[in-house]
Chains A and B, each alone.
Chain A
Amino acid sequence: MSACDNCLRRSALIAALAPHIERARRNHRHIAELLALGDGDLLDALAGGRRDELERAQATFDPTSARERIAGAGLEAVCRHDASYPPRLRQAADAAAVLHVAGDRARLNALAGGDAPAVAVVGARRAGPDSLEVARGLGRGLAAAGVTVVSGMALGIDSAAHAGALEVGGPTLAVLASGADVPYPPSKRGLYRAIVKTQAAVSEMPPGFRPFRWCFPARNRTIAGLASLTIVVEAAERSGSLITAELAQDLGRAVGAVPGAVTDARASGSNALLRDGALVIRHAQDALDEALGIGVATALAGPRAQELEDSLRALLRRVENGCDTVSDLAATPGEAQSAMAGLAELELLGFLRRGPGGRYVRCS
């Protein structure tokens, strides 16, 4: 079974209209509203002088060759009328007609089927090392409990969440703004390969498609639709992650945010969400309690600080309290020697991770 002709035609229309939608975006049109329009209304709203041409293309659309292109790119197409189409996403009126899947349909079923819990973890592309570590920890904790981690594979928080899930070999689903066969951003090629190898990446755009700017908020509506809970890890005032949170709210899904320092501009958006009543997410356990019900799953127990020997525990506590470089921890080269060895040990044990600029970050 594959995508039906109508859905494929719709998908082709959106791709053909992509530059027009981009123009509309610049004129402050609401992308989700546009994409919820029917074919005729969409053409009315956007096509302008090219209307006739596009209508002809619609009339002569050849679903067979579209299917061949999709198969040729190594993808599978799943449309709204397909049993494999994620049921949560189907609830959204404006959701994509066709999902192109890199991976395969069985994996998509396992990752986003009716009984597969899924949580979206999204956030800033430019995030602080601590937030990246939180996102990674969420990815790890959720995936280890069998909850699919849905995100957009963007730089920063998104990738960290995927990487965390992959670390425990757990379920994770990447939703791309480009075609599902195009790793975007290109620097995340390695992550894309790792995801497609064992998990899945999906996109509503046809194979080979290079994203316009409007595709990112459009992608966000798919992320929000796939997940029962959307967590914003770190978002500034006008962040795309806030769009995802808003879309999730519109769908009646739960929204959570990780609190940040009130003085940190990079966390002002996520803090504002909390002010507006979003759930406070401190760690994977909070997310699991919300997604599955309180007490249903226990987050993967990290290494336990209580079991460390005293000197290492003291060192860890000092790092947690902000003395996070070796020079801060040691007053003499002799002390630096033992601090360095201790930090390396804590890193090997999984308590710490090296951040940029020689700072050590506590793993969550």
Chain B
Amino acid sequence: MLSRVSTFAIDGFASRRVSVEVDLRTGLPAFTIVGRGDASVRESRERVHAALLNSGFAFPQRRITVNLAPAHLRKVGPGFDLATACGVLAASEQIPSPALEHWAVFGELGLGGEVRRCRGVLAVAEGTRRAGIAGLIVPRECAREAALVDDVAVAGVSSLQQVAALLRGGMIPELPALAPDATRVAPAEQPDLADVRGHTAPIRALTIAAAGAHNLLLSGPPGTGKTMLAARLPSVLPPLTRAEAIAVTRIHSIAGQYVGQELVQRRPLRAPHHTISPSGLVGGGMVPSPGEASLAHHGVLFLDELSEFSRSALEALRQPLEDGVVAIVRGQRTVMFPTRFQLVASTNPCPCGQAGSSRCHCTEGDMARHRRKLSGPLLDRMDLLVPMPRPRSEQLHGAPTTTSAQVLASVLEARERQAFRLAGTGLLTNAALTPRLMREHVRAQPDALACLRGAYERGTLSARGHQRLLRVARTIADLEASDRVHLKHVKEALGMRQEDVVDGAQAA
């Protein structure tokens, strides 16, 4: 007897359909699983065996061969348990085979027959819809996640017996009730810009960064609130669109970091520690899994103490930053993870962090070394370089500078203006402008360009800074609802670009 059950394997960011074929024939009792499974798939035999017996089913004393097709795809994780068990039940005619044609099955089994939660259910549900399968049987805890995908009937089950009852023509169990507000963060608990005192310049920079999706580098002594400010960037970014939210939820689900029942609502903020390895940052491993850059997809990647990150980790970020996607090659296969994030980094202005005050103990050589460590691949991609000095005490005890709601309102307007102007180019924000599009869309006044040229000739601006500055100036103009880039916009952008231009005359 042969039976087939549809399930899905997580392959990088996507899921791929896997057909679990179970064949029963006479011979010495045996239970073999073939089809490039990893250790957890091999161990699956023991779980399936025990789960069947403990749920009151018979375990056929025949020669059982399970094949996970396609055989070339590497299969990982315990998500095939349930499909294998269903296949064995169908092949031994304990449940009707035809019923299985309308269902995909995904879940881990316990020895007692209970069905346990698994990673990547959202990706599986999307695969189910793509494959045109009517329904999906998943662990009850993950049912809400699977139900985020439209057009798929989701059955959340908690035991193998429930699955059998369903396939014998029982009712589809109702989705578990939403836990009241369990997943929603109360608005009061969300970080808000109102918590920040003083720091008018960095807040302004944050506004511009949010409005144009520019990358931002904050430099200031320890404890001035760089991390605090970066944590508030998501609160002034436009809300996730549904497509974005699904992508974010899917990737967090694959990484096993998703615990909610609804779509992720807030843009993610990822702040990896500076000891992170290159593969931790962009993804990798024997079985490629998403890294921090992908977990920050459609959100913010915050690199605190940029100069402390290993050079190889920062180098690895180049491709993701540029292409919005990272390709991880393992063996003959390439796995793509999306990485469209906004980069915020912070750094000390000098090794001791007190540069500019009389407490700084760094020599000029220390400073030069510090600068050298910072420069290179990532600094090229920073649009806004903003100092963040210690606020004065009266500012600390003063009123909030602004609130996230106020900033968000102006950001949304500016984004709308950009999207309108860039309609048809496939781009949404000024940060993504290519040199060719810039000529067309920046529309700077002659005196603004003259000012920029002056700054370049005077040596306060580098060649690469020149282009980035124009993009920032365009965003500032958008924030002011100005059709053209005026002189004042360029001047403000100049103030937001603190770079050290070292040349002969400026060597001191």
Contact = CB atoms under 8 A, between A and B. Distances in A.
Interface of A: 125-126, 128-129, 132, 135-136, 155-156, 159-160, 162-164, 166-167, 185, 187-188, 190-191, 193-194, 264, 266, 325-328, 330-333, 335-345, 347-348, 354-359
Given A132-B508, A160-B508, A333-B402, A358 B220 contact: yes
Contacts of B389: 325, 327-328, 357-359
B207 interface: yes
A163 B395 contact: no
Given A348-B455, A358-B349, A341 B491 contact: yes
B458 A348 contact: yes
A162 B358 CA distance: 24
A330 B492 contact: no
Interface stretch (B92-100, B244-252, B359-367, B434-442): B359-367
A187 B200 contact: no
Interface of B: 198-204, 207, 219-221, 349-350, 354-358, 360, 362-365, 367-368, 386-389, 391-392, 395, 398, 401-402, 407, 451, 454-455, 458, 460, 476, 488, 491-492, 494-496, 498, 502-508
B251 to A, nearest CB: 33
A163 B488 CA distance: 31
Contacts of A191: 504, 507-508
Given A193-B504, A326-B495, A357-B355, A337 B204 contact: yes
A165 to B, nearest CB: 10
A210 B324 CA distance: 50
A341 B477 CA distance: 13
5 contacts: A155-B365, A342-B491, A344-B494, A344-B495, A357-B350
Q: Which 9 A-B pairs have the closest CB atoms?
A: A358-B387, A357-B356, A340-B495, A194-B504, A326-B201, A191-B507, A356-B355, A341-B491, A159-B508
Contact of B363 (A136, A155, A343, A345): A155
A187 B492 contact: no
Given A167-B505, A336-B204, A126 B364 contact: yes
B200 A336 contact: yes
Given A340-B204, A357-B389, A194 B507 contact: yes
User: At the interface, is chain A mostly helix, strand, loop or mixed?
Assistant: helix
B282 to A, nearest CB: 31
B364 A330 contact: no
Nearest to A189: B507
A162 B508 CA distance: 8
A339 to B, nearest CB: 8
A352 to B, nearest CB: 11
Contacts of A341: 488, 491-492, 495
A101 to B, nearest CB: 20
Contact of A357 (B349, B363, B392, B502): B349
Contacts of B201: 325-327, 330, 336, 339-340, 358
Given A325-B387, A357-B349, A358-B389, A190 B460 contact: no
Contact of A185 (B350, B365, B401): B365
A327 B225 CA distance: 13
Contact of A330 (B200, B360, B504): B200
Contacts of B507: 159, 163, 188, 190-191, 194
A323 B508 CA distance: 24
A321 B364 CA distance: 26
A327 B202 contact: yes
Given A155-B363, A344-B494, 6 more contacts: A156-B508, A163-B506, A331-B401, A357-B349, A357-B354, A359-B389
